[in-house]
Amino acid sequence: MTLVSIVGDFHSSILPLFYHFKDRLRNHVIVYDDYKRDVMQAHKIINGTQAFIQKSGLNIKNHSIEIDEDNYDNIAKLIEVLRGITPRCEDMLINVTDGPANVALLLSEGLMREGARFVTYDRYDNTYNMVSKGGMQSKNPTKTIPIEDHFMLKNIRVMHKQERSLADAIEHELVDYFENYHGERALFLSAHPDTHEHIKSTANGFLFELYVYNLLKRLNHDDICVGVKVSDIYSQDIAIENEFDLLIMKENHLHMIECKFQSAIKKVELIYKVDSVRSSLDDESIIIILSDEALYDAQSDTHAKSTLPIYKRSNAKRIYFRGSPIGRVERFIKEVDELLMLQTSDLDEIVAKRIKPHAIEEMTKEMKMREIANFIERVIALGVDYFNKKEILKILNHKVCYRENKRVRLAMEREEFRVLMRFINKMHRGKQRLDMDFIYNYYRQKFMENRVHEDRRHESERRLIQE
């Protein structure tokens, strides 16, 4: 069989059908207009499909034909060239989905009555309609392109892909690390000194990617990859490198999840960054951006936020900002399944049976935790900007499980409450005494008894001056 692919605006109207019919093909003909953009796009398809044919050992011959879509004689000549490649028109299948309409009309007039079939692909629903002189049939592609083959067909080289076996091997440690300790390495290691070497030495951003991958790997996708680095090849001299934290393929749609383990993200910059790489993914891809913001919920979709330009712009582009899934894991998994239309039949069971963090002992001296919580709540109430707010994390030590301490957990959802942890970490790394009594007494003396009183004294002096 010969597949004729007429280049239009979208790769995604050509490559799924090529992949679907690949085992039945003997010829693949790429037809493209002489417009500069179409020439560049066609060369990417030609090079990508040729690399895939060689890698897969397929017996397919690639042909490329450049035409002038505005020249009738040129299109008439194209018909003769196609007859020369495939004398039996019954063996010819012509994909006219996004190609120029006049080319499709003239080819159908000249070839359909001789038995050629024409196909249009619906890239939204991943279906195709096959039209012949006998009528029309609607079908679904039976094969979904794996992620690595998807990039190869688009002439994009996969330079690195993280082995998923690493994430599988340390899945329970990652759950504990993020859900019990929120990525606080010093505190985690003080409780788990014999943990996996990667958790001891690997950056939190990468570990967060593996953690999110583990949350989603059991859903009903067709393929999933983590930590992918690619080079988008445009010519011998031009190649653009991109990195993707998490990629999910479902019914020939390649979706992306960006994992940012930081609370302060530049949303406007991120919108333009991820939207610029969408052409490397899929024309109908969904992009989800995670961060370390205190909550994961649907706040971005509420009326109050949806009216802000940043969210209106991102939602219109199918780019969805979310906070941290930590502490909201069930909601996160279910929303990903819904947004990416994965249709996981046993979703509730997957959520219920996911690996849970190990239980952590509450502090034996409960009064100590209450005193510290009281102290920080007083700081918040006073509104005194004493701590270094560039480094916001939560207050914990390995004996404190904030998920089981309702008072602390509720306070933790306020960013102001999460400012003391970096001080504790610095003490630990500096081999200083990591003792909650010391921390509490130090700040009570240096801050509560001196700084606050000093601030109040200055405030009283300012009021006297004003009066």
Check residues 201 and 458 and name the one with the higher pLDDT: 201
**Would you place residue 80 in the very low, low, confident or very high pLDDT band (cuts 50, 70, 90)?**
very high
User: Is 361 part of any domain?
Assistant: no
Would you state the pLDDT for residue 1? 93
User: Is 382 part of any domain?
Assistant: yes
Pairing of strands 239-250, 253-259: antiparallel
User: Is 118 part of any domain?
Assistant: yes
CATH at residue 247: 3.40.1350.10
Is there a single domain that holds both residue 119 and residue 164? no
User: Is 86 part of any domain?
Assistant: yes
What mean pLDDT is predicted for residues 142-169? 92
Q: Is the predicted pLDDT of residue 231 greater than 60, yes or no?
A: yes
What mean pLDDT is predicted for residues 283-297? 76
Helix (H, G, I), strand (E, B) or coil at 216: helix
Give pLDDT tens digits for 177-230: 888 877 778 777 877 888 888 888 888 889 999 999 999 999 999 999 999 999
Would you state the pLDDT for residue 8? 82
Give 63-121 as a 3 state SS string: EEEEECCCCHHHHHHHHHHHHHHCCCHHHEEEECCCCCHHHHHHHHHHHHHHCCEEEEE
CATH at residue 103: 3.40.50.10770
Is there a single domain that holds both residue 154 and residue 134? no
- According to DSSP, the residues that pair with 253 across neighbouring strands are 250
Note down the domain range covering 122: 2-143
**Would you place residue 304 in the very low, low, confident or very high pLDDT band (cuts 50, 70, 90)?**
very low
Would you state the pLDDT for residue 56? 93
Give pLDDT tens digits for 389-424: 333 333 333 233 344 444 444 544 544 444 455 454
Would you state the pLDDT for residue 272? 84
Read off the DSSP letter of residue 289: E
- Helices 421-429 and 436-443 meet at what angle, rounded to 10? 120
Cα 394 from chain centroid (whole Å): 26
User: Is 422 part of any domain?
Assistant: yes
Provide the number of structural domains found in the chain. Answer: 3
What mean pLDDT is predicted for residues 312-323? 83
Give the Cα separation of 33 and 22 in Å (integer). Answer: 24
Among 330, 353, 376, identify where a domain stops: 353
User: Is 301 part of any domain?
Assistant: yes
What mean pLDDT is predicted for residues 275-301? 74
Residue 436 CB contacts under 8 Å (≥ 6 apart), including other chains: 363, 368, 369, 372, 397
Is there a single domain that holds both residue 84 and residue 112? yes
Order the strands of the 92-95 sheet from edge to edge.
61-67, 27-33, 2-6, 92-95, 117-122, 127-132, 135-139
Q: Is the predicted pLDDT of residue 276 greater than 80, yes or no?
A: yes
Most confidently modeled range among 234-248, 266-280, 328-342, 432-446:
328-342
User: Is 101 part of any domain?
Assistant: yes
**Would you place residue 254 in the very low, low, confident or very high pLDDT band (cuts 50, 70, 90)?**
very high
Is there a single domain that holds both residue 158 and residue 131? no
Is there a single domain that holds both residue 321 and residue 223? yes
Is there a single domain that holds both residue 135 and residue 199? no
Name the burial class of residue 180, with classes exposed (0-12), middle (13-18) and buried (19+) by CB atoms within 10 angstroms of its CB.
buried
Among 322, 353, 384, identify where a domain stops: 353
pTM of the model: 0.75
Would you state the pLDDT for residue 86? 92
Is there a single domain that holds both residue 243 and residue 288? yes
Give phi and psi for 94, each to the nearest 5: -115, 120
Give pLDDT tens digits for 324-367: 888 788 889 999 999 999 999 999 999 999 988 887 654 333 43
Mean pLDDT of the chain: 78
List Cα–Cα distances, 116 to 89, 140, 267, in angstroms.
5, 20, 50
Helix (H, G, I), strand (E, B) or coil at 299: helix
In percent, the amount of the chain with pLDDT more than 90 equals 39
Is there a single domain that holds both residue 320 and residue 372? no
Pull the structure tokens for residue 264. 């302060």
User: Is 358 part of any domain?
Assistant: no
Is there a single domain that holds both residue 84 and residue 132? yes
Among 305, 325, 353, identify where a domain stops: 353
**Would you place residue 143 in the very low, low, confident or very high pLDDT band (cuts 50, 70, 90)?**
confident
Is there a single domain that holds both residue 221 and residue 273? yes
Helix (H, G, I), strand (E, B) or coil at 196: coil
Would you state the pLDDT for residue 281? 83
